[in-house]
Structure formats: structure tokens, C-alpha cells
Amino acid sequence: MCIFNTMKPRTLLLLAALWLLAACSKKDTNPAPAPAPTPTPVVSTPFTRADNEDLVLYEVNTPAFSASRNINGVTARLDAIKSLGVNTLWTMPIQPVGQVNSIGSPYCVRDYYGVNPSLGNLNDLKNLVNGAHARGMAVILDWVANHTSWDHPWLAANPQWYTQVNGQVVSPQGTGWNDVADLNYANTDMRQAMISAMKYWVQQAGVDGFRCDAADYVPADFWQQAIDSLRRVQPRLIMLAEGARADHFSAGFDLNFSWNYLGALYGVFHNGQNASNLFTASAAEWSTVPAGKRKLRFITNHDEMGNSTPATSYGGPTGALAAEAATLFLPGNPLLYGGQEVGVPSNSVYTGGTIDWNANPATLQAYTKLMAAYSSSDAARRGTLQTYPDNNVLVYTRGYNTQQLLVLVNTRNSVQTVSLDAALAGSWNNALESGTLTVGSSMTLQPYQYVVLKK
């Protein structure tokens, strides 16, 4: 399968985004609004975002998130999102979607300053931001800097702002993204216009940063220029690069994506590879991360869901929970994709459907327990990792000051017995249930069983 890649698996979105033809493009038929509107600046609840080590992210696909299919539907569920220990909300692009050569993808942006009218308006976004801030959560917007729609006003007014081959504006070469036109980062005027558009959302809507789409395709010196400029407006912005380049960090990003780890996770759970491959992949990714910077860890997101659900990728609903447990407590910052916590089925979010929040209460309960254990543990967020290699069972500890966390995950759909190091022996508290457990020289785990202990 091609869903795991060190670069963005964007081509999957082109297949998956057909749902937006009904959800967005049919509704979004107004002419592109004039750029640079000047609404009244937002008056936001005072807010201080979490330190990088403590960020817990939650991705929202707005049209699929609620029955109302709009921003207000997200605002109405802020308490439920907060209850998972989330402190950073990432919304997929909210701007108007292009109509020319379009397949309805939200990553085909027609107006950097607008809100897609099918999703709401600027005041709705302000209400979402203020509601999140009141609950101690940040809001970051998905930002598409690599390309625009073919009917974006920039193209007619400034064709030199776009990449041209033989005098013709082209799509990003080698991607197959034919619904969008590639921007030319050799053009200084375009760079300034892009930075101005990003500033607009910080200054007018009070957003707390950006998840930057296809960050690997945009030059690092632009990202540094943009982030430096944005942080002169708001020093504590959260900047997440959707990519894997090491220079994202020197450019000023706080986090980037763990694509290699995701591939290893699929290899272990779906292809039966050695469970310790997860340790190898994690260590390799962290080897290029400077102090204070972070890797984003996830078992799915909107790209992956376009091709395969966690249940399909990891051996069923129980296997998906085991994959989440394995990933959650390793070094990195967790991301949940909206609906993941209720086991949203494969294509429901891409075919005009919305999430059934009452589906799979047992899955929701399991996620709630896992996230509570993570959020309440300094060791889970900051602890030193100690690994104990085994072919089938993932065994590791995280230690921080006097806290210690022990995680065991059976990565197989069969009963497994793992030998345990003598250093782990003794009485531990169950981090997911009440009671204690005595660890001896071995432990037998049921198919896809996971155990999280603390002391």
C-alpha cells in the first residue's frame, strides 16, 4: 500500500476528496471575494498555549464533523474534544474552494482571506477560537502555501507569481495535483502577499498558529521568513510542518510529521514485521530533532482515512486500539483525527456523511482511558525512554523524576508471552483501570492486548 510515505500522501486526498463535490463545491458558487478585507479585530479570551512537550492535537474535518456540517458544529463539540485531554485544535482548510479544474478538495484554495460560505463566516471562526481559548485550547488553521486553485485572483492579476514552463502556468510537477496551480517562491512579491494573508488570520481571528500543508514542497527560507514575521505579531504561535525535512526546525517550526514511524507501525501490525522496528523508526526520526522541537505521532489522519481506516490498517478495531496505545506513550506529540475515537467507518467522512458520535461507545471509552493516562503522566510526555526488544510484544518504560511508566502492547492477533527484564519486576499501579499488578519474569497477553502501568 502507498499510504505511508516520507512525503505527504497527497495523491490519496485527490481520490478521497470527491465527497466535497457535494459538501462544498456545489454550495460554494459565489465569485471569489476581494482580497484583504478589514473586519473588526477579534477580542479573544486571554490565552496561553501549552509548551511544545505538552501539545495534544486534534484534527477536524469540518464538513464531516457534525450534522450542521459547519464551524458552529465544531464549536458545539468543544467540551467533548477537551474531555480527551486535547489542547490544540487543527481545522482542515476553511477557505473557499476553487471551481476551475476542481475536484472539490479543500486544499484547492480560491481566496486566502475568505471563509467558505458553506462552513460559516469569520464571526463563526472567532466564536470557535474564543470558545476554545475559554477551555484552554489553541486553534491552528490548515495553511496551503504551495499552490492555489486555478481561479484564485492572484493568477489572473500576477501570473509571474506562479511556476511556468514554456510560458504556461503549471501544476506542482510530479505530483498529479492537476486541480491546483504551483506558486513561484522565487517571486518576492508573492512571498510577501502570502505572509500578509497568514497574518490576517492571526490578527483578525485570533488563531494560534498553522499546520502548513505540503511543507516539504516550499523552500525553507520562505518558512523562516514567514515564521519570523508571524512571531513578531504573536510570539507563541504553534507552527506544525506537514513534512519530514530536518530544516523545518531551523526555519522555526515547532513540530513536523512522523511519516517514517507511521510506515513502521503499518509494517508491524499489518505485515507482521518485528515489533522492535517501532523503536528503530522512532529513534531515527528523533535523531534529527533539535532540543525543544517535536515529532507529531498518529495512527491516522485525513489522508490515511481516504484509503484505509485504522481498523483496516491495524488488524481490526482491537488492533487499532493497540496501535494507538503503542504510539501514544512513545516520545512525540499525539494527534487524534476527529471521529477516530468512535471508530468512524472507512468512507463516511468522504462521501457526504457525518460522524455518528454515538457509535462504538466501547471504543470511545478505551480512548478516553488512554488519553487520561497520557495527560496525567509527566513521564508519558517528558520521560526518558528505555526499550526492551521483542519480536511480537512492544515493551518500554518512560521515566521522569520519581515517576515511571511501563507499556506492554501485543502487536499480534494471537496470544503472546513475553519474557521481562528483572528490572521491571515488582508491584505496579494500573494506569487504565483501578488496582495493582505484580510484574514477574514474563507476561502473557491476549490478542492485541495492551497494558499501561505506573508507579
pTM, full prediction: 0.91
Indicate whether 448 belongs to any domain. no
Predicted local distance difference test score (pLDDT) of residue 94: 97
CA distance 154 to 317: 46
pLDDT > 90? residue 8: no
Q: What is the 3-state secondary structure (H, E, C) of 270-288?
A: HHCCCCCHHHHHHHHHHCC
Written as one string, the DSSP assignment of 222-289 is: HHHHHHHHHHHH-TT-EEEESS--THHHHHT-SEEE-HHHHHHHHHHHHH---TTHHHHHHHHHHTTP
Judge whether 401 lies within some domain.
no
Q: Give tens-digit pLDDT for 40-71.
A: 545 556 689 999 999 999 999 999 999 999 99
Return the CATH number at 129: 3.20.20.80
pLDDT over threshold 90, residue 34: no
In a domain, 394, yes or no: no
In a domain, 269, yes or no: yes
Cβ–Cβ < 8 Å for 269, 16: no
Which pLDDT tens digit goes with each residue over 191-211? 999 999 999 999 999 999 999
- How do residues 109-133 score in pLDDT, each as one tens digit? 999 999 999 999 999 999 999 999 9
pLDDT band (50, 70, 90) for residue 353: confident
Interhelix angle 220-233/188-205, rounded to 10 degrees, is 30
Give the pLDDT confidence of 216-230 residue by residue, as tens digits.
999 999 999 999 999
Residue 264 domain-assigned? yes
Of 14-18, 80-84, 214-218, the poorest mean pLDDT is in 14-18
Asked if pLDDT for residue 235 goes beyond 60, the answer is: yes
> What range defines the domain where residue 334 resides?
57-382
Q: Per-residue pLDDT tens for 385-398?
A: 999 999 999 999 99
Each residue's pLDDT tens digit, 240-281: 999 999 999 999 999 999 999 999 999 999 999 999 999 999
- In the block, residue with C-alpha cell 486553534: 139
302 is a domain residue: yes
Checking if the pLDDT of 360 tops 80, the result is yes
Q: How many domains does the chain have?
A: 1
124 part of a folded domain? yes
Please tell me the predicted confidence (pLDDT) of residue 306.
Answer: 78
Instruction: State yes or no: pLDDT of 1 exceeds 60.
Output: no
- The whole-number pLDDT of residue 354 equals 86
Averaged pLDDT for residues 329-345: 94
Mean of per-residue pLDDT scores for the chain: 91
| Structural domain includes residue 371 | yes
